[in-house]
Amino acid sequence: MSENCSHDCSSCSSNCSSRKTESLLKAPHKDSSIKKVIGIVSGKGGVGKSLTTALLASLEQKQGNSVGIMDADITGPSVPKMFGVSDHATGSAEGIDTVLTPSGIQLMSRNLLLEEETMPVVWRGPVIGGTVLQFWTDVIWKDVDLLFIDMPPGTGDVPLTVFQSIPLAGIVIVTTPQDLVKMIVEKAVNMANLMKVPVLGIVENMSYIECPDCGKKMEVFGHSKAEALAKEYLIPATAKLPLDPKIAQYADEGRIEDYEAPALENILSVIDGAKQPQ
């Protein structure tokens, strides 16, 4: 530290031992109560991240937890559709209220704030990131045990905003069995390590298809890589979701809460044991 130090680190370029790291974490709405936050991420789009979010949230709700879903995929929100929710979110000067699914899961999505759900959101990154942050600071999450955040793919503005601004107990990475999955997982793991957020599990979507006649499982998109990747990156749990026409049917009909997904139980146990940072 220089003898002429003013103790104002914001105006100084020196990398001295007295420099303080300023936290970028934001406080939630003053009337919110959130015990644990879990991010659902992927290094690429189209792997079933929103589906995984919906299924995990539904299973936790069935176990008696109070659950919320923040749909942070602002330009491609699909969570309300899967739950059959079309009501508009309402609010007041105090804050924005969530919308409930049939089972009582609290939702907040950009689609719940639009006049028409098919209206495109043509915004640049900083505006999108600011909207996601408002879902944390301006929305009232009431007595939520688990808040799942469905993030857009990649490592851009929105995932960075979530990692830096919202305290995460951990993330779950969603992949598919293709060869490029290693690169996808490695990107997500590296970002989580950079932000000091635990990786709780890998969900391999479309992992196999089960023959309706004989029950044989066929790996139509290639051999599963979930366990090997989990071992390589020291990730605690894996789950394999089948390529099941019922999933698409239930999601299209807005009944995703009715779908049973026992394959995700390994992930649930790790999520339940994760510790929320203070």
The CATH homologous superfamily of the domain defined by 27-272? P-loop containing nucleotide triphosphate hydrolases (3.40.50.300)
Contact in structure between 112 and 89 (CB atoms under 8 Å): yes
Q: What is the pLDDT of residue 174?
A: 94
- C-alpha to C-alpha distances, 135 to 10, 98, 153, 181, 254, nearest whole angstrom: 28, 10, 18, 30, 23
∠157-39-217 over CA atoms, to 5°?
115
Instruction: Decide: 56 and 267 in contact? Cβ < 8 Å.
Output: yes
Task: Give the pLDDT score at 10.
Answer: 47
- pTM, full prediction: 0.88
Where in the chain are the domains?
27-272
From CA 34, how far away is CA 19, in angstroms rounded? 32
pLDDT, position 183: 83
Note whether 228 and 192 are within 8 A (CB): no
Element (DSSP H or E) covering residue 245: helix 245-252
Average pLDDT, consecutive stretches of 10 residues, N- to C-terminus, the chain (278 residues):
54 54 84 97 86 97 97 84 92 92 96 70 67 93 97 79 93 87 85 93 94 88 90 94 93 95 93 91
**pLDDT value, residue 257:** 97
